[in-house]
Chain A
Amino acid sequence: MDNTFVDARGRSCPEPVILTKKALEGYNGQDLEVLVDLEVAVENIRRFAENQGFLVDVSHLEDEDYRIIIKK
Chain B
Amino acid sequence: MTARLKIILSGLMVGQLGSLLVLFGNPVNMGVCVACFYRDIAGGLGLHQAGVVQYLRPEIAGFILGAFLISRMKGEFRVRGGSSPILRFVLGFFLMIGALVFLGCPLRMILRLANGDLNALVGLFGYIAGIYVGIQFIRKGFSLGRSVKQKTASGYTMPLFAIALLALLFARPAFIYFSTEGPGAATAPVWIALGAGLLIGGVLQRTRLCTAGGFRDAILIKDYHFLWGLVGIFIASLIGNVTYNLEFFNLGFEGQAIAHTSHLWNFLGMTLVGLTAVLLGGCPLRQTILASEGDTDAIITVVGMIAGAAFAHNFGLASSPAGPTFNGQIAVMIGFAVTIAIALSAVRSEVTIGKGVRSRG
A residues near B (Cβ < 8 Å) are 1-2, 4-7, 9-15, 17-19, 21, 23, 37-40, 43, 47-48, 51, 64
In the complex, identify which listed stretch (B19-27, B31-39, B213-221) lies at the interface while the others stay far away: B213-221
Q: Is the interface of B mostly helix, strand, loop or mixed?
A: loop
Judge whether B281 and A12 touch: CB under 8 Å.
yes
The verdict on A11 contacting B143 (CB below 8 Å), with A40-B208, A47-B3 known, is yes
Which partner residue on chain B sits nearest A6 by CB separation? B358
Judging by beta carbons under 8 Å apart, are A13 and B223 in contact?
no
Check A18–B78 contact: CB distance below 8 A: no
Cα distance A6–B146 in the bound complex, in angstroms: 13
Within 8 A of A (CB), among B178-199: none
Q: Could you tell me the distance between the alpha carbons of A15 and B137 in the complex, rounded to whole angstroms?
A: 12
Task: Return 5 A-B CB contacts under 8 Å, by A number.
Answer: A4-B360, A5-B359, A13-B210, A13-B281, A40-B208
- Contact check, B146 vs A10: say whether CB atoms are below 8 A apart: yes
Q: Is the CB of A10 within 8 A of B358?
A: no
Report yes or no: B281 in contact with A14, Cβ–Cβ below 8 A.
yes
**Chain B 193-236 per-residue mask, 1 if CB under 8 angstroms from chain A, else 0:** 00000000000000010100100110011110100000000000
What CA separation (Å) do A51 and B218 show in the bound complex? 13
Task: Give the number of A-B contacts (CB < 8 Å).
Answer: 66
Cβ of A10 and Cβ of B80 under 8 Å apart? yes
Contact of B147 among A1, A5, A12 (CB under 8 A): A12
- Please state if B213 and A13 are interface contacts (CB–CB under 8 Å): yes
Interface residues of B (CB under 8 A from A): 3, 76, 78, 80, 83, 138-139, 143-144, 146-148, 208, 210, 213, 216-217, 220-223, 225, 281-282, 297, 357-360
B206 shortest CB reach to chain A, Å: 10
Are B358 and A23 in touch, CB under 8 angstroms?
A: yes
Q: Which residue of A lies closest to B83 (CB)?
A: A12
A59 → chain B closest CB, angstroms = 16
B83 adjacent to A21 (CB under 8 Å): no
Residue of A nearest to B144 (CB): A12
Q: Report which of B78, B222, B358 forms a contact with A64, defined as CB distance below 8 A.
A: B78
What's the least CB distance linking B143 to chain A, in Å?
A: 6
Closest CB of chain B to A60's CB: distance in Å?
10
In the assembled complex, the CB of B121 is this many whole angstroms from the nearest CB of chain A, namely: 26
* Contact in complex: B146, A14 (CB < 8 Å): no
Known contacts A47-B223, A48-B221, A48-B223; is A14 also within 8 Å of B138 by CB? yes
Assuming the contacts A12-B297, A14-B138, asked whether A2 and B360 have C-beta atoms less than 8 A apart, the reply is yes
Task: Please name the residue on chain B nearest to A8 by beta carbon.
Answer: B357
State whether A10 and B208 are in contact (beta carbons under 8 Å apart), knowing that A17-B221, A37-B78, A64-B78 are contacts in the complex. Answer: no
A51 to B208 CA separation, bound complex (whole angstroms): 19
Report which of A7, A14, A19, A39 forms a contact with B213, defined as CB distance below 8 A.
Answer: A14
Nearest chain B CB to A8 CB, angstrom units:
8
